[in-house]
Structure formats: structure tokens, C-alpha cells
Structure 1
Amino acid sequence: MNTASHPIQDSFERAASRCGDLTPHVYQRLFELRPETQAMFRSKGSEFVKGSMLALTIEAILDFAGERRGHFRLIACEIASHDAYGTPRELFIAFFAVVRDTLRDLLDDEWTPEIAQAWDRLLADIDAFAAAPA
């Protein structure tokens, strides 16, 4: 698959042309939808943690939606890690939808049915991947 023309990658590229940093937008949405998550990031250096977590998430999303060369495996590793922190699996998976919804809002009229369908498939696939035994 040519990932350069993949709707998931396209959504990130379009958003990047409108917004230099997705991090504050993603976390604002996360904290509005799931206020309990804000307490998870109250330590010193949390801005770096948020940016790093989002960057790794985006890298995993792009690999999972594309060629699956290995970065997508980070999803399984982070599920185990977040389980150890006591983060509910449902909350971990919900973060991917928060990313999608943030992109959708940023893209506004550039959010196409093709992009929407690709994201719907991706979120369903990530959910199934997360539910599969290790």
C-alpha cells in the first residue's frame, strides 16, 4: 500500500497544515471528555510526556494503518504498560478516538467520507487488536 495516499496519513498531513502542534488540542479534548485523566498528567514535565505520548501514538497509528513494519506493536506494549499503571483498557483505546475527533474538528470541511471510513475501520481494528490475546 502506498501510505502517502492513505486517508489516515492524509488526515494528519491536512491537520498539520492547519495546526503546528496537535498536542494541546488532543489533550484539551481528552480532559473535557474524560476529566479524570487530567490528574494523570499533573507531575513536573507533563507537557513533554503528553507530546511524547502523542508522537508515539501517531507513529503507531500510521504504521497500523499502513505497512505494519513494527511500530504498531507499540500499541500492545503500551496496553500492558497502561494496565500496570491501572489505566482501564477502555480509556487507553478511547485515546485513539480522541485523536481522530481532534483531526476531524481541525479538518472541518476537508474531512472526507473516505477519511471518516478509514478512521472507523482503523479504530475497529485497533479495538480488535487490543482485545486479542498476547
Structure 2
Amino acid sequence: MSTSPNPIEQSFELAAWRCADLTPLVCQRLFNEHPETWAMFRSQGSELVMGSMLALTIEAILDFAGERSGQFRMIACEVASHDGYGTPRELFIAFFTVIRDTLRDLLGDEWSPEMSCAWEQLLTDIEAFAGITA
């Protein structure tokens, strides 16, 4: 197996070898850590919505951490969209942290210090991009 030199991409590549679909793991963690999100996804077909949301978010993360060819702009669009839904920006950003934590737990010993540093920087950069000030 050949992995990307980009630690963010690497974390997703390694996770793909361990788990065909991250959606149930990410959903469970999101609902456990942020129970208020449960009501946002309780309608019929919510599994498809969550899966689609996660796939688009992963594409945006990979572009944001890589080439920045355009997919990353979805983050800014979704910040505005979620503002319209009344979702606090901190909760919007928490979804990215939930993804990181899910990957970290899934990878276990394969989670490297480089991945940890890259994800910390990515989360900081996404917060700044989304207009969250520390």
C-alpha cells in the first residue's frame, strides 16, 4: 500500500483500509458528543443525508489540506447555509473535530504525531476560514 505524504490524506487512506464507511462511526460520535445534533437528523432518510454530508466534508477537507482547487470553498458555503439553519458556528466546526477524533480512534497505533500536528493546524485554519475567532 502506498500512502500520500500529506498526513491528512494519509489518515483517510489508512482509515479506508480499516473501514468501508465512516458514516456510522462519525454519526455516533457526533450524537454522543453533541446530543443537540440528534434532532437535526431525525427525519426519514437521515442516513443518506449524513452520508452525503460526510462525503462532501471529506472532499472539502482533502482539498483544503491539499491543492485548494475549489472543493474547499464548500466550507464557506456551508457555514452560511448552517447560519441560516441557526446552527452555531462552533457546532459546525465541531463536526470537523469529530471526524478527526473518529479517524484517530480508528487508526490507533497508526495515528502518527505528524497526523496529529497536521490535523491541529487544519482545524485552526478551518476555524479562521469559517470566521471563528479564538
What TM-score bracket applies, with the shorter chain setting the length? over 0.9
Residue aligning to 2:39: 39
Which residues in structure 2 correspond to 1:68-87 (within 5 Å)? Answer: 68-87=68-87
Residue aligning to 1:125: 125
Residue identity in the other structure for 2:116: A
Residue identity in the other structure for 1:22: L
Residue aligning to 1:93: 93
Residue identity in the other structure for 2:106: L
* Alpha-carbon separation, structure 2, partners of 1:111 and 1:5: 14
* Alpha-carbon separation, structure 1, partners of 2:11 and 2:89: 25
* Alpha-carbon separation, structure 2, partners of 1:91 and 1:127: 11
Residue identity in the other structure for 2:100: R
Residue 71 of structure 1: SS of its match in structure 2?
Answer: coil
> 1:5 Cα shift?
1.8
Q: TM-score w.r.t. structure 1 length?
A: 0.95
> 1:129 Cα shift?
0.5
Residue 47 of structure 1: SS of its match in structure 2?
Answer: helix
* Alpha-carbon separation, structure 2, partners of 1:42 and 1:29: 16
- Which aligned segments of 4 or more residues in structure 1 are displaced greater than 4 angstroms? none
Residue 119 of structure 1: SS of its match in structure 2?
Answer: helix
- In the TM superposition, what whole-angstrom CA distance separates every residue of 1:54-92 from its partner, at most 9, and x where no partner exists? 000000000000000000000000000000011111000
Alignment size in residue pairs: 130
* Alpha-carbon separation, structure 1, partners of 2:131 and 2:39: 26
> 1:31 Cα shift?
0.4
Residue aligning to 1:112: 112
Percent identical residues: 73
Answer 1 or 2: which has greater helix percent.
Answer: 1
Residue 4 of structure 1: SS of its match in structure 2?
Answer: coil
Residue aligning to 1:64: 64
Q: TM-score w.r.t. structure 2 length?
A: 0.95
CA-based RMSD: 1.1
Q: Which sections of structure 2, spanning at least 5 residues, go unmatched?
A: none
> 1:4 Cα shift?
3.0
Residue 43 of structure 2: SS of its match in structure 1?
Answer: coil
